[in-house]
Structure 1
């Protein structure tokens, strides 16, 4: 499948955008007119640079407000079009995007539009240009793709085709069945964008909130399958207007974009029914007319969390808290004296002390932070191969000759994701810390990750495409600093749960050094550990002097009003700093520790089939953490 990206998706100059697209691995780009207008380089120089980079210039866009106008105005529009055709010749581009008229159209007459499209086609033919007519969702008289196709079909000109744009089609909930009527050779260009489910005017939605495929709420697999079935064989391009993308690192956004296309491509190629249907239908259009859909190595959802690794420059404080929670120190790594293993049943925490002598990172590190997660997968080699094809960067890892070979990649937030071959027995790497046994029935229930706001959508795609996790509906949680956006990534059976949170006001004092020297917002993350008896866990923690996150009296009074709880049980909750939630499936009991650096722990007990995370209690936790931070600052 040939891939392309519109320069409007990326930050930087036109030249920087071309280099980033080529470096990421795109086959071509769409030139957005404004990027060329502000460039000091000539069209010939841009064409030369693209050739040197090995990428094609696939489309020039946009050309606006042509059709549905009086004859005098149309003559002026043709003159304007001719100057663009001449410019395209200098760039070496043979296709232009024509948007349906939104500003100057005064004639709502399909016959007039058809005749004007045909005359534009005659002019375009003299310059060897193809015109891809696109229905903008807010077009004055033409706003639906099927209407645009009817006009193109009626014009019946070899130089006039249509452009299908997923945003303009899906944002209007247009019936997709008529896509099958369009011959692939009359689809002159294809543009893809995803979007979150928002209720707002479509123009603002389009200009500010588009995202890459897999980062929004739409079924683009179905959309692309329908396009493939027409026999379309041109570029599959990204056109994403997003405020965050245009402020982010150019190279990183380009990689994220290509990852989204490869994941989308594989979602069709990996599904035999879809692939066969699209290839069979496309095959009828003639040799070479079908999209060349390539699969990725198949991966199943992870079976669980093998371990969590924490890095710290305050080893004593962190390990004291873990001891208070009932974790048992197992030992030091045999070849890495700065690395420890702590166990509580099947909950495994690796603690790496960050010191100058340890040499664990080339960047300065302050505080305690979540360094990485090990996931249990059915085929670690396939998982790593898939990650590499999705352009994830491998984590360099020092290991002795007799250490287990572990491989992983950097997540968008700079943390590390490792793939461990699933084994019902004790993981092989544990022997590198010695051997012990813990009778407690405990495991890591979920890991709550903080995400930099400008890479939040990238993180959703990363965990979806690499680990086959599913994004649940997002929600906003109130805190003293504003709303915290939260979205859970999970496996189908719930064995892996990862809420992704975006803080409302990023702390300027970021934690540096995670992963490859990236900057991570210092917003608290936490590890939630499941236990059989929350009150026993709390009693152990109290006896060992744990600094619980305080819960106000008002919370328990409100709890009493919301639930019909036994007074003795309510008192027991309060005495042990335990919070409570209930739904029709079961109960959820939990308590929090104070924060060390940017990490805290949560101990939980699930009763029945409760699957949530105690969302009603999150504002209590956020307010308590805010108070403690304020007191610390004072």
Structure 2
């Protein structure tokens, strides 16, 4: 299946968009008319550039307000159309998108629209081109692809077919299964866009919030399957209007877009990727800085055992049960501690690495001696390094590379429960797609959590078993500009009170929780004064959901990293969202003013 992208998806000039589409691996592009009008390049120069880049020019769009009008208005439509058909000849484009009428329609009659499309088809055929009629979700009379198809059938012209756009169909809640009743030869073009589940007018939703496949809530796998079963053999093309993509780096967005189609081709089976099982869990996390000494102290307070220094790298390993943290001081990207890498335990690292390469995940290279375990690694859009290690019941096979440490004793921690990563507003949707497509994780619905200076947007990508959970967060812009939004690792335990008590005895200063929180806790839940008092002494927070509960505590923040310890009971599957505002407020109080170092 050929791939294409509308130039409206990308930022910059038309020539820059063509170059980015080619470098990202697209076969062709749709020319969005405003991009052509604004470029100083002639149509012939655009064609020459596309030829040099190996790109086909697949569609010219949009042609608006064409049918359902009186004869005087239609005469003006034909004049406009003939000028565009002549331009298409210069561009070598054989298909033009004709949208259902929004602004000038005055006649709600399928027979009139069909007759006018037939006459447009005659004019198109004179120029050796064709028209693809599309039902806009906000069309004045025609807003359903099934009605658009009935009109095309009535038009009965070889040069007149339909364009099927996933957004216009799925945003209206229309059943796409009727696509299979159409002859594939009359489906002239297919445009794809995903979108988040929003309640708003469909025009604003379309103009500002479309996403690439795999980043939203639409079932594009089912949609494309219907299209392919109908016999369509043209390009799968992306048409995504999004305020973020129009501002971000053009090549980065083009690569993101191409990855989304690679993922979708795998979903529908037209171009399968290497099959991988979802990660079994976390292999390790890595904190990196010029000096990670304060992180060492936090880990020791939480009960971790120092396992030694790496034989060839400036790194130290700490573990508590299956939870492993590497403190790396080699080539830090930031002077303050940051969460730099996450390792995942996967059934077949080589196969998972092959899938990552097929999805064009950038490879991370680290010097590895012949005697050391080589772990495939890739860089996520947020800069986090993702490592793929084998699943192991005990110590991972790379642990013996750390020497001079102590043997671990009985453990209170049972592993890494989840990892929270901070995302920039520019790469949030890209990160969701990356982690879900490369690692085979599933994305939960996004939500917003109040912080003192705005809302934190959060979305979890996770394995079905819950053994691997990544929470991706976009901080309020004001927080991001001042001190950076901290990231954290949550460790699991079956006895959070015991872990907290041990940590306090070892000198841990937990995140301060206001007394008001505990007063509210007693009001919300049937807890005794003694129970709440013990929680307050240990700095514990609590949440309940349908008889299931969650108790947890946080450490203070060191640089850009802090830790959490959580206990889940009765199948609780959330993250204590009701307590997130308390945590964010406490961290905000402890954050430095702009230009200051992180408070300790």
TM-score bin (small chain): over 0.9
The Cα offsets for residues 343-382 of structure 1, whole Å up to 9 and x where unpaired, read as 11111001101xxxx4x25xx5231111011111111111
* SS of corresponding position for 2:324: strand
Segments of structure 1 that go 5 or more residues without pairing to the other structure are: 270-292, 511-520
* SS of corresponding position for 1:138: coil
Q: Structure 1 residues 585 and 74 mapped into 2: Cα distance closer, same or farther (>3 Å)?
A: same
- 2:229 corresponding residue in structure 1: 229
Please state how far the C-alpha of 1:506 moved relative to its aligned partner: 5.4
- 1:554 corresponding residue in structure 2: 516
- 2:402 corresponding residue in structure 1: 433
Residue pair 1:100, 1:135 contacting (<8 A) in 2 also: yes
Q: In angstroms, what is the RMSD of aligned CA positions?
A: 1.5
Distance 2:190 2:573 in 1: 40
Matches within 5 A, 1:243-392: 243-269=243-269, 293-336=270-313, 338-353=314-329, 358=330, 360=331, 365-392=334-361
- 2:82 corresponding residue in structure 1: 82
- 2:111 corresponding residue in structure 1: 111
Distance 1:77 1:563 in 2: 67
Please state how far the C-alpha of 1:570 moved relative to its aligned partner: 1.1
- 2:475 corresponding residue in structure 1: 503
TM-score by structure 2 length?
0.97
Residue pair 2:412, 2:499 contacting (<8 A) in 1 also: no
1:527 to 486, 489, 498: 489
**1:16 corresponds to 2:10:** no
- 1:398 corresponding residue in structure 2: 367
- 1:409 corresponding residue in structure 2: 378
Distance 2:290 2:512 in 1: 25
- 1:491 corresponding residue in structure 2: 463
Residue pair 2:446, 2:460 contacting (<8 A) in 1 also: yes
Residue pair 1:371, 1:416 contacting (<8 A) in 2 also: yes
Please state how far the C-alpha of 1:585 moved relative to its aligned partner: 4.3
Distance 1:33 1:153 in 2: 27
Distance 1:63 1:404 in 2: 58
Q: Structure 1 residues 239 and 365 mapped into 2: Cα distance closer, same or farther (>3 Å)?
A: same
Q: Structure 1 residues 81 and 631 mapped into 2: Cα distance closer, same or farther (>3 Å)?
A: closer
2:575 to 613, 617, 620: 613
Stretch of structure 1 that moved more, 415-424 or 159-168: 415-424
Residue pair 1:305, 1:374 contacting (<8 A) in 2 also: yes
Please state how far the C-alpha of 1:174 moved relative to its aligned partner: 1.1
- 2:559 corresponding residue in structure 1: 597
Please state how far the C-alpha of 1:584 moved relative to its aligned partner: 2.7
Residue pair 1:346, 1:441 contacting (<8 A) in 2 also: no
- 2:65 corresponding residue in structure 1: 65
- 1:515 corresponding residue in structure 2: none
Distance 1:567 1:76 in 2: 79
Distance 2:266 2:155 in 1: 36
Please state how far the C-alpha of 1:544 moved relative to its aligned partner: 2.0
Residue pair 2:291, 2:335 contacting (<8 A) in 1 also: no
Residue pair 2:164, 2:187 contacting (<8 A) in 1 also: yes
1:462 to 430, 434, 439: 434
Distance 1:156 1:425 in 2: 69
Residue pair 1:581, 1:616 contacting (<8 A) in 2 also: yes
Q: Structure 1 residues 444 and 4 mapped into 2: Cα distance closer, same or farther (>3 Å)?
A: same
Segments of structure 2 that go 5 or more residues without pairing to the other structure are: none
- 1:49 corresponding residue in structure 2: 49
Residue pair 2:320, 2:408 contacting (<8 A) in 1 also: no
Residue pair 1:134, 1:163 contacting (<8 A) in 2 also: yes
The Cα offsets for residues 97-142 of structure 1, whole Å up to 9 and x where unpaired, read as 0001100111111111111111111110011111000000111111
The Cα offsets for residues 497-530 of structure 1, whole Å up to 9 and x where unpaired, read as 11111112155659xxxxxxxxxx9211100011
Distance 1:438 1:99 in 2: 69
Q: Structure 1 residues 422 and 27 mapped into 2: Cα distance closer, same or farther (>3 Å)?
A: same
Residue pair 1:403, 1:432 contacting (<8 A) in 2 also: yes
Please state how far the C-alpha of 1:23 moved relative to its aligned partner: 0.3
Count how many residue pairs are aligned between Structure 1 and Structure 2: 593
